Amino acid sequence: TEDRRASYDFLYKVILTGDTGVGKTNLLSRYSRDEFNPNSKATIGAEFSSRILVVDSHRVKLQIWDTAGHEKYRAITAAFYRGAKGALLCFDITNSTSFSSLSGWLASVRDNSDDKCCIILVGCKSDLKEHREVSREKAERFVKEHQLYGYMETSAKDSSNVEETFQRVLEHIYRKEL
């Protein structure tokens, strides 16, 4: 359920992390504006988008922050992580290097964000299964090993699991905050 009026009861900051090119910006644009850009180039600058959703008749504003190109230079500041209640740790299922980078990204999230930060692993570009380099099993093993809140495979191109992924992180945060 979605509502575009401006007032809300809770504000949750959610961050997107992972290597450049994995699909973070398109995941966010699909979720917040229902847009996909096949030739998106990394734009540098702080970027965030919001949506207001309803849980248990409370209006919750999800404020989602994208690294907006800074990840390329590992130039992400503490302010990016500060206060994040949720994190989508993103890799590209067709790029095993982006999977190898995950432990570094995870360490940054754990070092810099809220202790209770709810982290979900996201395998992006699920529409490109014929080029898959990272199996679902491998991703699920990572989730177990690092005690994350789950694994989702998304496609910003065909929209699959995009709504469900943000909904999931929202519900996990909400339950923890109660």
CB of 158 to ligand GDP, least distance (A): 7
CB of 160 to ligand GDP, least distance (A): 9
Place of tokens 């570094």: 104
88-117 positions binding ligand GDP, by CB under 6 A: none
User: Which residue, 92 or 149, has its beta carbon nearer to ligand GDP?
Assistant: 92
| Position 50 contacts ligand GDP (CB under 6 A) | no
User: Which residue, 11 or 76, has its beta carbon nearer to ligand GDP?
Assistant: 76
Binding mask 121-160 for ligand GDP (x = CB under 6 A): ---xx-xx--------------------------xxx---
Query: Which residue in 25, 95, 101, 112 binds ligand GDP (CB under 6 A)?
Result: 25
User: Which residue, 10 or 69, has its beta carbon nearer to ligand GDP?
Assistant: 69
| Position 70 contacts ligand GDP (CB under 6 A) | no
CB of 52 to ligand GDP, least distance (A): 23
Distance of CA 170 to the CA centre of its chain: 11
Q: Which long-range contacts (CB under 8 A, 24 or more apart) does 26-29 make?
A: 26/156, 26/157, 27/88, 27/90, 27/122, 27/124, 27/154, 27/156, 27/162, 27/165, 28/64, 28/66, 29/156
Q: Given the DSSP bridges, would you call strands 86-92 and 118-124 parallel, antiparallel or unpaired? A: parallel
| Position 171 contacts ligand GDP (CB under 6 A) | no
Exposed / middle / buried, residue 95 (Cβ in 10 Å: 0-12, 13-18, 19+):
buried
Binding site for ligand GDP (CB under 6 A): 20-26, 37-40, 42, 124-125, 127-128, 155-157
